[in-house]
Structures are given as structure tokens and as C-alpha cells.
Amino acid sequence: MKTNPQSKHMDLSTYPLQYLKGIGPKRSAVLEEIGLKSIEDLLHYYPRGYLDRSQVVRIVDLAFYAQRRTPVTVIAEVFRVEARRARKTNKMIFFLTVKDDSGYLTCVWFEGYQWYKDAFDIGEVLALSAVPTFDVQGRPQFIHPQFDRLKRVDEDEPDWGKLFNTGGIIPKYRSSAALERVGLDSRGFRRILRTAVSLYVNAVPENLSNTLISNLSLLPRSEALRAIHFPNNKDELEQARVCLKFEELFFLQLLFALRRATTQREVRLFQYKTESLFPRTLVNSLPFSLTNAQKRVLREIVTDLRSPHPMNRLLQGDVGSGKTIVALLTALMAIDSGLQVAFMAPTEILAEQHYRTISTYLQNIPVTVRMLIGGHKKNERETFLEELRNGSANLVVGTHALVEEGVTFQKLGLVIIDEQHRFGVIHRATLRAKGTTPDVLVMTATPIPRTLAMTLYGDLDVSVIDEMPANRKPIRTALRTERDKPKVYAFLRDEVRRGRQAYIVFPLIEESEKVDLKAAKKEYERLQNEVFSDLRLGLLHGKLKTQEKDEVMQKFKNREYDILVATTVIEVGIDVPNATVMMIENAERFGLAQLHQLRGRVGRGADQSYCILIADYEWYDKHRKGKDALEVWDEKEKARKRLETMVSTTDGFKIAEVDLKLRGPGDIFGTRQSGMPELKIANIVEDVQLLDIARKEAFKLMDDDPHLRSDENAPIRTHFEKNYKEYIELGKIG
């Protein structure tokens, strides 16, 4: 590809897209909506995937893949379009027949006829992807295929068909209905990117130092950008990906290195007593002894508290591993030394639960505990705030009500944050700022693989409770289908007969909450009247008032119900050791982390517990909502994988790892709010090795040249200050 030598000294980040040939005001307005304003933005709009010869099959071979239910791509020319009205639903069904040199293939769309009817021209060339199925006559067909236009009938686009045969690679770009309306489908993007790359890629500045580039054999940045869009071959593409990924990860780690350097310059203000009385009293009064993992973590914390710098520690441990007691013992060390402690939980339910647990534990220790959540009466709130201000309250448990203005402490020495990933850096920083360099302990019940912890909390030290209290029996998990339900009901009945209790859980997802709730209520009635008419069933869901919820829960605890039919409200905070069976309906719709949390509600006593997952994968076909064949297939495959994982392990860390692979880290940790810049191309789960290198290089750089003052590092500083400004600010307050 020819590039323009004159573009060398332009600032592409301020060059409006509107002036690029082929864009204009209409397209630029739509592009701006997805955040593309400048030429630079466009150059960083990476392909969502690539098409190359190796993925393409001939139509004549489709039957083979239909039997194996694997997704494939064909490249074919549009031959015929037609529509028929479905007799049952009276809806128009759209048929598209395409041909390649080996045969004809029919594609079917049951939805979207209005759009599809004018979407294709006879003779245009498409790449179509789907899992092939057989029609009634036994011929392969594509239902709702994903498609990418390769060549319109009378067009000057390069002849992809030909390019293809010589091993070329075609980039595919993400589009949307709004973008398509102004001609920016995948093909439209290819055209404007072709222009942008050929005219301006040379003006892209280098972001890394020459030393890094040559030591790690990276491509020049402009070269990498050209190749990510229009690679000449697979090697080149791979090299480009490595470069761009490394760069992202490097700057991310540089951010952590900076935060770390900042906290390490801080000096502890308050000293801890070496011999603490309160923690000892509590340990002696516990009905159990601490696990070795708990003891080890406590030693790590004590070492931190004795160091001249404030603690910044992340405490990880699976559900039920006993983090609360560790946090509480740490709190007591602080209180013993005359300091106040703030304990923040993500929801009111959790805050209340902690408050109750902590108050019970501390019955015989002279410590004043308060709770601060949203719904206090004004007087009560004023009293609490005064107690915090004058130091008479030692420990306050609360929600993010704690970070509000007006909450001030006399001597805040320790901040404990539960379920860190729901808060993010901003909350952490604000709460911290209420003390003078307080110690910080953040806890997460969502087990995070070590690699990810390092990335997400790269500025924290990590402790792991990797051992469960000894009295637990692993829960047995089984995967069943709708057809097996009578047997499952019989099993539940057996357990109830033996004096146990059970949960039946229904999915409740926000988008269709009303419909779901209705379904759950109806099922509850059916179960009570038709299946378990001789047993006592309770119903618990989120729309009940707090008092009603408490009542239902209390009755279940008192064994006035045998079976509790519930929505996911029981995910957290419920502890009924006599409940030993959990049946989860439509388990395919639940996330993996959620299933793990739910299953954690059983297995809390000495009896063997069971979790039975009822899966209905066809649900995804029935609720496709405009998704194409590949998306539906992908959803089903992921659901299968989630449930298989649940059956094969109860290890929260393994589950979290699979969850991350399936969902991607961005989905689990809202990146912006966790104080982490968004990653566009790197994946912290898949690119672990690269992450490791990036981390080493970034921390080394921060050691060698903490203010990035050398000429050599000027490109790094420029890019860092310009693009990571808001995160650097966060680092300063954090």
C-alpha cells in the first residue's frame, strides 16, 4: 500500500474525520456517536476479526459441517432473493440464494424482512457465516447467517475474491444499524480505513522509547497500525497485534507503577501497639480455630501494619472461606491502638449482615460499633456522625453512604472494603482521604485469578485464603434437562422426608423482570398445588417489602417451609444450614459467578448437599432477538461450558477463571469505574505472558526514570500524559 510522505508532521488527534475523503458531515456525525472524531480515532478502530482462505469452505461441503454442528464461512455470489408468508404466523420470511463454483445455498431470515428485502443486489459477493443446518428436504441451509459484503456489483473495491486466492486477509469491522444507514457496514469501514491508512498512517507518532522497541523487537507504531488493518499475511498480523497489545498493557502497568511509587513515598502516621489485647480476646472466644490460611494472611497483615508505610492489601478468598473474621481481627488491632475503622460493603443487605455478625462477635469486647446506610432518620444520623467526629465510635460499618461529604473521623486509621470490584478506585480513594494515610484492606469474594488481580489491583499487595474451614463437605452437582424434572422432584421430596429443606431457584433478569416474575409466581402455584401439595412452600422475590422478605426467610429458617421457591435474591447473605438441596431452573441463563454464589447457599452444614441444574439450551433459539446464527450458537456453547464447569468443580478460583474466559474481563469489571483504562486489543486473560513483560518493563522504567525526564523516554511521557491523564489524577488521590 502506498502511503503519503507529506503527512509526517500532522497532529492526527485533532484532525476532524469529516475532512477525510469519503466521509463528510453526515457520516462524521454518526461516527462521532461511537466516539470516532479524529483521524487518529479512526486508525484505532481495530477490526473485530479477519477473514482468510483457511476459514472458507465450499457449498458442496456444507453437509459435512452441518452434521458436526460447527460454524463455517462460504464466499458466494447473490443469485436470487424471494419472500414467502409463513402460514402460521402470517409473517414474511426472507430467502436468499447464493452460489459459488460448487453449488447453491439458501439462507433464511425469519425476522427483519423489511430490511433484508432491499439489502442485496444480484451478483454482489458476500462472505456468509453460520452453523449449517438441514432443511426439510435434507439440503444444507443457513439460518440468520452473519454476512459481510465483499464486493458490490459495479464497484472499484479491490477484488477480494482474487486477493483471497492468493492468501490475502480481509478485515471485518463492527457496525450498527445507524452506521449501516450511512453506508458504513464492514465494507464501508474498509473503504474509509483504506484511505485513512494510505494518507495518514505515517504521521502516527511513536509512543514507546527506541530502547523498548529494539529490545523487544517491536514494529514501528505506524507499521503496526497499517498491518492491523491491512495485513499482507498472518505473520505480519500477529506481529502487529503483539505490538499494539504490548503498548496498551505497558501503559496500564505504568499507571500502576506510578500509583505504587506514590503510595510508597507515604509515611505511616499512627503506630500500632505490638501486643494487642482485643484480637486475642476474640480469637479465644471463637467456637472454631482459624485455618492455616487465615493465620498466614493475618501474619502478612501484621507485617504491613508494622512497616513504616501504610498498608494497601487485597484479601481474596472464596465464598465461605472466612474473610470476615480476618477483617475483624485486623479492625481490632487498629481499635486497640486507639484508631477508628471504617468497613464499607456494597449493598445495604451486606452492610446489615456484617453489622449483625460483628456485633455478635464483639459482645464481650468494649468496642462501639455503628452502622451508616442510606435510610437513617435525620436525628439518628446526626448522632452517628458526631460519634465518628469525636472518636467515641470505634468501628463504623456502612454502604457508600460512608464516602459522602459530612462523614468525618477523629482518627481514621484503617479502611476495610468488602467486594472491592463493585466499588473501584474512586470510592477507595475518597474513603481513604477521610483519614491521614490510613491502612487499606480490600476484600473480594469473587475469586480473581492471580494474573488478573495483578492487573486490576496492580498497586496492591495480594493475600489469598486458599483453604476452606475443615468441616465442609463438597456439594454434589448434577446437570439435568426439563424431561428429568419428575425425578428431580422425587429427589427433593425424599430429602424433605429425611428432615432436610430445599431451594428452587428461578432466573430473574432485568430486561424482562415482569414477565419472569409472573412466571416464577405461576410456577410457585403450580408446584404448591400440583407437585408438592402435601408440602409447605414459601415464595421469596425481590419485589417483596423488606419486612415481608424477613418474614419468609424467618419461616424458612424455623422450618415452617419445606421448600423455598425463590428468585436470585437469595444469592447473598442467606444462611440456613438445614437446606441441603438447590434446584436451579433455566440454569443456562445464569452467569457462572452467579451460579457459584447461589450454590454457596447449600453445603453450610454437616450433611451432604446437592445442587441440580436444569438446562434448556433451546431457550436461546426461542429468544434470539435479532441475533444472527453465530451469536446464538456462541451463546449456547458458552451456556454449555458454564454448566459443565459447575458440575466439574466447586473451586471458586477455577470457576472464576473459566468465567473470565467466557465473558471477558471487561464484562465482569466495569473498567471505567474500577479505575482502569479500557483495553481495546489486549486481553488480560489471554495475554498473560505479554502482561508479565509489560509489567516488568513498566516498573523498571518507573525505577530508572521516575519522572520520565530523559529524552529517550519523551514519547512515553507525551503519550502517557495525554491519554492517561484522568487515571494519573486518580492515582494521586488514591
What lies within 8 Å, CB to CB, of 211 at 6+ separation is 712
Q: What are phi and psi of 521, to 5 degrees?
A: -65, -40
Residue 330 near ligand ADP by CB under 6 A = no
Judged by CB, which is closer to ligand ADP: 193, or 369?
369
Residue 283 near ligand ADP by CB under 6 A = no
Residue tagged 444444507 (cell numbers) = 140
Q: How far is 12 from 28, CA to CA, in rounded Å?
A: 15
Tell me the three-class secondary structure of 474-523, residue by residue: CCEEEEEEHHHHHHHHHHHHHHHHCCCEEEEECCCCHHHHHHHHHHHHHH
- Which segment (56-64, 251-259, 289-297, 363-371) binds ligand ADP by CB under 6 A? 289-297
Work out whether the CA dihedral 193, 194, 196, 201 comes out positive or negative: positive
Judged by CB, which is closer to ligand ADP: 208, or 445?
445
Q: Which three cell numbers stand for residue 419?
A: 467486594
Q: Which three cell numbers stand for residue 217?
A: 523487537
Residue 317 near ligand ADP by CB under 6 A = yes
Judged by CB, which is closer to ligand ADP: 21, or 299?
299
- Which segment (249-257, 286-294, 502-510, 680-688) binds ligand ADP by CB under 6 A? 286-294
Among residue numbers 464 through 493, which ones bind ligand ADP (CB under 6 A)? Answer: 469
Judged by CB, which is closer to ligand ADP: 362, or 682?
362
Judged by CB, which is closer to ligand ADP: 565, or 592?
592
DSSP state of 290: P
Tell me the three-class secondary structure of 513-548, residue by residue: HHHHHHHHHHHHHHHHHHHCCCCCEEEECCCCCHHH
Judged by CB, which is closer to ligand ADP: 445, or 537?
445
5 vs 195, 231, 252, CA distance in Å?
Answer: 14, 20, 32
Residue 666 near ligand ADP by CB under 6 A = no
Residue 320 near ligand ADP by CB under 6 A = yes
Q: How far is 610 from 623, CA to CA, in rounded Å?
A: 30
Residue 573 near ligand ADP by CB under 6 A = no
Query: Is-contact 168 52, C-beta < 8 A?
Result: yes
113 vs 85, 86, 91, 118, 401, CA distance in Å?
Answer: 10, 12, 9, 9, 51
Q: Where are the beta strands (DSSP E) in 162-309?
A: 169-172
- In this chain, which of 135, 210, 288, 292 binds ligand ADP, going by CB under 6 A? 288
Q: How far is 310 from 262, CA to CA, in rounded Å?
A: 11
Query: Is-contact 34 182, C-beta < 8 A?
Result: no
Q: Which three cell numbers stand for residue 671?
A: 473498567
- Which segment (170-178, 285-293, 492-500, 511-519) binds ligand ADP by CB under 6 A? 285-293
Residue 605 near ligand ADP by CB under 6 A = no
- Which segment (122-130, 313-321, 364-372, 619-627) binds ligand ADP by CB under 6 A? 313-321
Judged by CB, which is closer to ligand ADP: 223, or 651?
651
Task: Tell the smallest beta-carbon distance from residue 422 to ligand ADP (Å).
Answer: 14
- Which segment (253-261, 290-298, 487-495, 537-545) binds ligand ADP by CB under 6 A? 290-298
Judged by CB, which is closer to ligand ADP: 19, or 288?
288
Q: Which three cell numbers stand for residue 418?
A: 468488602
Helix (H) or strand (E) holding 98: strand 92-100
Phi-psi region of 477 (alpha: psi -120 to 50; beta: other; left: phi over 0): beta
- Which segment (105-113, 142-150, 312-320, 429-437) binds ligand ADP by CB under 6 A? 312-320
Closest residue by Cα to residue 410 from 492, 509, 338: 338
- Which segment (203-211, 321-329, 643-651, 725-733) binds ligand ADP by CB under 6 A? 321-329
Residue 295 near ligand ADP by CB under 6 A = no
- The two most distant CA atoms of the chain are separated, in Å, by 86
- In this chain, which of 98, 130, 208, 325 binds ligand ADP, going by CB under 6 A? 325
Q: How far is 281 from 336, CA to CA, in rounded Å?
A: 11
Instruction: Give the nearest residue (CB) to ligand ADP.
Output: 322
- Which segment (13-21, 37-45, 320-328, 536-544) binds ligand ADP by CB under 6 A? 320-328
Task: Tell the smallest beta-carbon distance from residue 493 to ligand ADP (Å).
Answer: 29
Residue 446 near ligand ADP by CB under 6 A = no
- Count the Cβ atoms, other than its own, within 10 Å of residue 686: 14
- In this chain, which of 129, 222, 263, 291 binds ligand ADP, going by CB under 6 A? 291
- In this chain, which of 322, 447, 458, 507 binds ligand ADP, going by CB under 6 A? 322
- Which segment (6-14, 220-228, 317-325, 576-584) binds ligand ADP by CB under 6 A? 317-325
- In this chain, which of 335, 445, 537, 662 binds ligand ADP, going by CB under 6 A? 445
Buried b (16+ CB within 10 A) or exposed e, 569-580: bbbbebebeebb
Residue 397 near ligand ADP by CB under 6 A = no
Q: How far is 729 from 408, CA to CA, in rounded Å?
A: 23
- In this chain, which of 319, 426, 462, 688 binds ligand ADP, going by CB under 6 A? 319
> What does the binding site for ligand ADP look like in residue numbers (CB under 6 A)?
288, 290-291, 294, 317, 319-325, 445, 469
